[in-house]
Structure 1
Amino acid sequence: MSETGARGRAERPHEAVHAGEHGARTRCLPEPWMCDVFHLDGSLRDIRVLDTTRGEWIAVLDRLRVVADETEVEHPYPQLDPVHPAFDDLFRAWADDPEGEATAFSFRARFGSVWFFALPCFEEEIEFSVWPEDVLDGAGVAAVLRFLVEIASTSQRRALLTGEIVQYHPEMPTLISHDPVTGVTSHI
């Protein structure tokens, strides 16, 4: 029999078996708070940096190309390099073209076994998503933390990991954050 936690859902042990695209895998997260942050509820987790500019987006994507284990870009612009477009050209085609916002681009970065992906919607907010199902163990959590630190340090703005939402609201709980000014990473 499981107990209900403060958030009204059943408490989960550190280890839980779940079915993913590669079959059943065992999850073993090293700390109890990680089970709450990466609760398998079928929704994404969003990683956000608020009040940003196009230049900060570009700096973050350029940095991720350097430090990630692998990156991928997909876009519909025939005038740009299909595999490795310059991000300033990509943003110009996307945001400055009157029809650009209707034809978005996507970016993915892999740290370890965890993929982070972005479909830029607004220049004013950097947003990446990650599936909690990909965070299987301490190495997966470390990848998420490293990603948070990289984008916060590059943008010089606080990076937040939240539940999946369309638009950020200050009242929404932050699951993990990294402040590049203080160097502090905190969690719920």
Structure 2
Amino acid sequence: MSNCEDVHAGEHGARARCLPEPWMCRVFHIDGSLRDIRVPDVTRAEWIAVLERLRAVADETEAEHPYPRLDPVRPPVADLFRAWADEPEGEGTSFAFRARFGAVWFFALPYDEEEIEFSVRPDDVVDGAGVAAVLRFLTEVAEASGRQALLTGETVRYDTGLPTLIAHDPTTGLTSRL
């Protein structure tokens, strides 16, 4: 039996969704909201470690920022955080960071130094390769931060009552769906 559950119009036209397991259809249900990969209660050093790891392992990364003194193409991650959080030129601004694994893009617009948050569009997860990209990204974020990474529905701020869809714990090496 096929797990093709729906057809939707994506940025490149209509595509059938063929996810490997039925439960994945629920996790990546196209409902108009994003999915977030979050790591609550982090330090700036953990944020920096995550972005540097992503630069090393992702198929592609991009950074955009409004800070004139920084390299416009590949600014050092520590400098992005310093300009954003510590210097007057960063007041009221942020930067964007995107990483691509396979065909799936993950993006962050840091607004809180104490919580890592990346978003992913569920309509970009159309097959087993897309699911694998999400699981790999989740694992890379957890391993780089040294903390449990959570895939949740879209939120403004993590709430302990918010259902976690998938989690990776770097201390045990286990990925679980909850």
* TM-score, length basis structure 2: 0.96
**Aligned length, in residue pairs:** 176
Q: Which residue of 1 aligns with 2:142?
A: 152
Cα distance change, pair 78–132 in 1 and its aligned pair in 2 (3 A): same
**1:14/1:31 contact within 8 Å kept:** no
Deviation by residue 1:48-97 (Cα, 9 ceiling, x = unmatched): 01110111111100000010000000000110000000011110000012
* Larger deviation, residues 57-66 vs 14-23: 14-23
- RMSD (CA atoms): 1.0
Structure 2 gap segments, 5+ residues each: none
Indicate whether 1:114 and 2:101 are aligned.
no
For 1:113 and 1:131, how far apart are their aligned partners in 2?
11
Q: Which residue of 2 aligns with 1:41?
A: 31
Structure 1 gap segments, 5+ residues each: 1-12
* Larger deviation, residues 175-184 vs 99-108: 99-108
SS, match of residue 64 in structure 1? helix
SS, match of residue 130 in structure 2? helix
For 2:127 and 2:80, how far apart are their aligned partners in 1?
35
Rg larger in structure = 1
For 2:6 and 2:30, how far apart are their aligned partners in 1?
10
Identity of counterpart residues, as a percentage? 75
Indicate whether 1:59 and 2:49 are aligned.
yes
SS, match of residue 84 in structure 1? coil
Q: How does 1:156-171 map to 2 (within 5 A)?
A: 156-171=146-161
For 1:98 and 1:78, how far apart are their aligned partners in 2?
12
SS, match of residue 175 in structure 1? strand
For 1:102 and 1:132, how far apart are their aligned partners in 2?
30
**1:14/1:32 contact within 8 Å kept:** no
Q: Which residue of 2 aligns with 1:136?
A: 126
How far off its partner does 1:102 sit? 1.4
